[in-house]
Structures are given as C-alpha cells and as structure tokens.
Amino acid sequence: MPVMKKPDYTPDASRYEKMTYRRCGQSGLKLPAISLGLWHNFGDVDDFDTARRMIFTAFDRGITHFDLANNYGPPPGSAETNFGKILKHDLAAWRDEMIISTKAGYLMWPGPYGEWGSKKYLIASLEQSLKRMRVEYVDIFYSHRPDPDTPLEETMEALAQAVHQGKALYAGLSNYMPEQTRQAAAILKDLGVRLLIHQPPYSMLRRNFETAGLFDTLDELGIGAICFSPLAQGLLSNKYLHGIPADSRAAKPHGYLKKEAVTPELVQTLTKLNTLAAGRGQTLAEMALAWVLRQKAVTSALVGTSRVEQLLDNLKALENLVFSPDELREIDALLNS
C-alpha cells in the first residue's frame, strides 16, 4: 500500500439530495437504496487510490452505507484495514453520517475458533474488525452464515452481547434461510435485541431465497433486506455479451465467478434482457438493480465496483425503478426459459 498524501477531501454539500433512502424494516434506520460493498477491489492486491476515489464518490452521491466483512480482501482483513485508513485520514469528521457494517462467519485464522458461529469466534472477530477499521463500534454486526454445529442460541447471544456492549448498534444475519431467520429473530427478541436486517444473495440469476419465501418472512417480521451480488458478479451487465474480457472477474483464475458459468445459453438470455433494458432507457446493469429494488422488503442493493465510472453507472438505476406488469412478465419468461 502506498503512503497516503495529505487529504483535501470535502464531501459534496448536496450529497443527500442525490440519493433515495429507505426505512430498514420497522426500525428507525434508513439506508441508501444503493450501498457500497467492499467484498472485492478494496484489498491489498488492489489499487488503493482507486478504492479511495470510489469511497469518496459514493459518499458524494449520498451513499452512507459501507459494507464489509472480516474476510474481505484479499488477503482477508485487508479491506477493513484499508477502509480504516481512509476513514481515519479523510472521513473521520463524518463518521456519524455513515453506516459501517461488518460480519463474521467464514475462515479467518487456523484452529477451532477461526470460523463459523461460536461466541468465542464472533466476539474475537469483532474485536479484530474494530481495530482494523480504527472505530469504537460498527453500526451493524452480522452473523455471516448459519453454523450447523453451533446452537443458534449461542450465535445470537454473541450478536446480542455485541449490541449490549455498544460495539455494534444493530444485529444482522446473512445467508440464513426463512425458518432460521424466524428462529434467530425470536431468540434475539428474548435477549432484548431487534433483528434489524438480513443480507441474502439476490439477483435475476439467483432467486432461491425469494422462492424459499425469505422476503415474505422479512416483511412479516418487520426486518429489512440488503441484497448482495445484485448483478451476479457482473454477469448482469454488458460486460459478457461478446465474450469474456481479460480484466473481468470470470477471467481471473481464482475468482468467485468461474469462466464456465458464462455459457452460450446464458449469454443468449442476457442479450434478450439487455434489449428489454434498452427499451426502458436503461443498461442491463441498471435494470437488474432496479429489479432487485422492486421487492417490498428490500431496503438496499449492495454494489461492488472496480472503477468510479461503474459506480456512477449503477447509480443511474435509481432514475427508473418502476416496472410495468408486462415487463415483469417478460423478464420472468426470459429467466425461466
């Protein structure tokens, strides 16, 4: 990481006029309709100045929510460390205008206490995250995934402890199915903590949480949703309509998105969706984000961008969030074909 230059950053005074904010479930918290996720492109292997510019641009456009996890990088932890440097150096004066979240659940260190859902792991991980980001508390602390071998009560006790100790303001879940979410919410309520938010993967190409009834459950319980991978790791963009670009995620040998996923059948579907998006005056990515945000229970969509230009393009989705019944039927037909 290069040594940072002296900052000259002042946020855009009109930033809050540029964003739509939505109430998170039945809580008092509002989130921007589009939030910035730091899963990719903010680690030590990435360009620090580009990451810094993306965070500045996001904040200037009214994106107040920055979503992290202990294992984001690579290497794991480096996204939090780099965000902490930017926060301390450039944004410390505006900390109270920001929602910062982190998670624990995936592998962080060797041994039996380095992953999953034990209280030992979750509390230790949160302490490490706070140090890396140089903050006294996070706004949201998530259990990143359910643990099949740890009692749900123990995992929820860890989230409640973090809230009661003031190290997190709110508790969240990620990747939990509807019945697990219902049980977790009940346990947290008994512990005096509201389950604020759920973070599932959700996009036009991944709808299993929707079909399982998650959004109906969240709506019933008054819990907000923030969806990650709304563009399916970039598949729901113009990027893959004419092959696999050399700088794309699918071209990286160790990336989450595999080259084999970009099949001719998928490209054909994406091409038809792109034509439909053009008829709406949108790019495919803009329509895909709008489609996610159409869900009543969805508070925000998490975007992960590698360039400022991508972030600005994604924000254009907010200019048209309305779908006609015919458009929704056509999209369903294409996705189910």
Question: For position 8, what pLDDT does the model report?
Answer: 75
CATH code that applies to domain 19-336: 3.20.20.100
- What's the confidence (pLDDT) of residue 337? 78
- Residue numbers of the chain with a pLDDT score lower than 70: 1-7, 242-259
Please tell me the predicted confidence (pLDDT) of residue 256.
57
Query: What is the pLDDT, as a whole number, of residue 216?
Result: 97
Count Cβ atoms within 10 A of the Cβ of residue 17 and give its class: 0-12 exposed, 13-18 middle, 19 or more buried: exposed
Tokens representing 250 are: 């699918």
pLDDT attached to residue 2: 52
At 6 the pLDDT is 59
Whole-number pLDDT of residue 254: 55
Q: Do 77 and 132 form a contact (C-beta atoms < 8 A)?
A: yes
What token pair was written down for 85?
A: 């440097």
Dihedral in degrees, nearest 10, Cα atoms 256, 44, 300, 154: 80
pLDDT of residue 128: 98
C-alpha–C-alpha distance, residues 227 and 203, integer Å: 8
Confidence (pLDDT) at 78: 98
pTM: 0.93
Three-state secondary structure call for residue 283: coil
Q: What is the pLDDT of residues 300-326, one digit of tens each?
A: 999 999 999 999 999 999 999 999 999
Whole-number pLDDT of residue 252: 58
Distances (CA, A) of 23 to 196, 211, 231, 247, 262: 11, 24, 23, 37, 36
- H/E stretch holding 99: strand 99-104
Looking at residue 239, its pLDDT comes to: 79
- 230-258 pLDDT tens trace: 999 889 988 778 666 555 555 555 555 55
CB 70 within 8 A of CB 114: no
